Amino acid sequence: MKSIYLLLVLIVSICVVFAQESITVPEATVTTPEATVATTVAETPVAETPVAETPVAETPVVTPPVATTEPAVVPTTTTTTAPATTSVVAAAGDCLSADTFSTTDFFPNKLGALDSSAQFSVTYSNTYKLVHNLALDEYYVLYCTKAQPDVGNTFQSKTFIQIPVRSFAAIDTRALGYLDLLGQSNNIAYVGNVSNVTSPCSNKAPVLFDVNNANLDRTLYDVAIYPGSANNDPKGVGLGVNYAASPLGNAQWVKYFSLFTNQEVQAETIYNDIATDYNTFKNSINEAGHISYRRNVTFMNYDPSSTRFNILQDQYFRNLTSDAGANLITPNVLQPADPSVMKGQLQNASLVIDLTAATAFQTSFSNWQNWLGYSDSAIASATETALTNYKSSKKYVNSYDAPPFARNKQLWRLDLVSNQGSLDYWTRGMARPDLVLQDLIQAQFPDYFKSRNRVFLRDFDDEEATRTASSSDDYGCNLNNWAKAESVSYTNSAADAPDLDGTKSKLSLGVIIGVSVAGGMVALSCLVTAMILLIRKFKHNGSSKFTRLNDETHHDFNSGALDRDPMMMEETNEASGGRLGGSGRGL
């Protein structure tokens, strides 16, 4: 009985010793600064911020979209039909000879309900459509009869346009992207800037709409599309595309153009296909099973007229960035006037997308670096300093001179497809938000798509070459055949911080778990072996005293199995390394 008692004491003692020996050294944690900087009072009040490619001065009426820092408040919009005693539905082609107040409905194919992101509305009557451009607060009457209808004094109509429109003057060349989708490319007589025509869809080149030309033949177009109000053109209507709207809100303008051409059904299909694909990619990246670190994105530009940088915070950029699974960095200075201040706003940026006109920094990446005050040598030196500081603080802080986008070569521009410096993004980026979203996802996660060519974003610091558009690129002329996107199952654990001290584990999660289990089995085997040896020794020398292992004897014990800490995994904190990354905040 005494022997059994001593054996139990021995087993308990050995377990106590192993418990005391098994002290786990805490793993160093790696953190990066938060993705967003607390918003403080801007250096100057935020002015209207033109960010898209500005058409050259040959046509003064063409201006970039107005970007504001607050989203426009747009009321929920619906398509309505004016009350009428309609008894017959007829083809629109028969309308020309009809009475303006005919009881025959000449618009059987109407737009469905428009959602709150639409910046226009339409009310149908039998022989005309009343269009309200909410962005500009203008009304247009589109009529199919020979004579203009008398719509009374209930509203002030900007203009009357006979439909269907068969020729256009695209003073705002962003109209080209929408007209291409509707197959109207060959019906464009004039453009506000001929160099802005990047589309391969037309088989004839439109000519310059020169407002200073007294001999301009205005009979060549039925309607002119201006970026704003066209006060002096009786055939002019406004477009109103801007960055205060969401990406899909701007895509809905294809329905607006369809009202002029009686292509409502086709426009509904086109928009629904674009929106479906957009939401498929949005949901895939935001609902991915494992993306540990969101990237920090900054959209910026430089305005030579104000000599200030702009860090873009408009609704369009906020939606686009979050829909691409990223964070839009909130700066503490919205419009820096000095490059050194601008650099401070980019300190934690994973990707920077610069919309500045190339002429501002002489087009090359090296000039861009010099312009902002970056250099390869300073980036290398600052990175080394940050790593040295990490060794003592165990906290990685992005350097002012070596932000993540600069270390990891993540500077982008929207000029991958261009023509003489004019961007294809300018003419069709707003019409195709699905393509812009895919580009932004692909820039963050190059392995997200198995195979895809970017459409708008150019890897600028890699000196990727620009190219012109080709009809063989599946450009999207007359978009009537659509291969629906499929959901993507995706994982990614890469972060901003570099490989700190070589401690970031290069092993997969499965291997790490396997090694851990194997290590535990080895330790357990050692424990069982030690117990067996001690039991045998006790049996052969029952009279010997058993000395309980304590802290003092533990430190003097030189056994190969018990004189060291248990196996520790290499550092696997995902915030500690990786090529791309952001704030260190998981989804």
Reply yes or no: is the peptide bond before residue 33 cis, omega within 30 of 0: no
- Which residues 6+ apart lie within 8 Å of 495 measured at CB? 32, 292, 293, 574, 575, 576, 577, 578, 580, 581, 582, 584
pTM (2 d.p.): 0.72
How much is the pLDDT for 157?
Answer: 85
How much is the pLDDT for 514?
Answer: 47
Q: How far is CA 57 from CA 196, 210, 275, 505, in A?
A: 12, 11, 35, 56
The Cα 301–Cα 310 span in angstroms is: 5
How much is the pLDDT for 479?
Answer: 78
How much is the pLDDT for 151?
Answer: 86
- Which residues 6+ apart lie within 8 Å of 510 measured at CB? none
The Cα 41–Cα 63 span in angstroms is: 29
The Cα 111–Cα 94 span in angstroms is: 20
CB neighbour class for 401 (10 Å; exposed up to 12, middle 13-18, buried from 19): buried
Count of residues in the chain = 587
Nearest by Cα to 209 from 217, 199, 201, 219: 217
Asked if residue 235 lies in contact with residue 161, where contact means CB atoms within 8 angstroms, the answer is: yes
How much is the pLDDT for 395?
Answer: 85
CB neighbour class for 536 (10 Å; exposed up to 12, middle 13-18, buried from 19): exposed
Asked if residue 331 lies in contact with residue 451, where contact means CB atoms within 8 angstroms, the answer is: no
Give the helix ranges, DSSP H, for 396-508.
404-407, 424-428, 433-444
Nearest by Cα to 179 from 197, 195, 156: 197
List, run by run, the mean pLDDT of 10-residue segments along the chain (587 residues).
51 48 42 40 40 40 38 48 47 81 94 92 96 95 94 84 97 96 96 92 92 91 94 92 95 98 96 96 90 93 94 97 96 94 96 92 89 94 90 88 95 93 92 97 94 95 91 78 86 79 42 46 56 54 37 34 26 31 30
How much is the pLDDT for 527?
Answer: 61
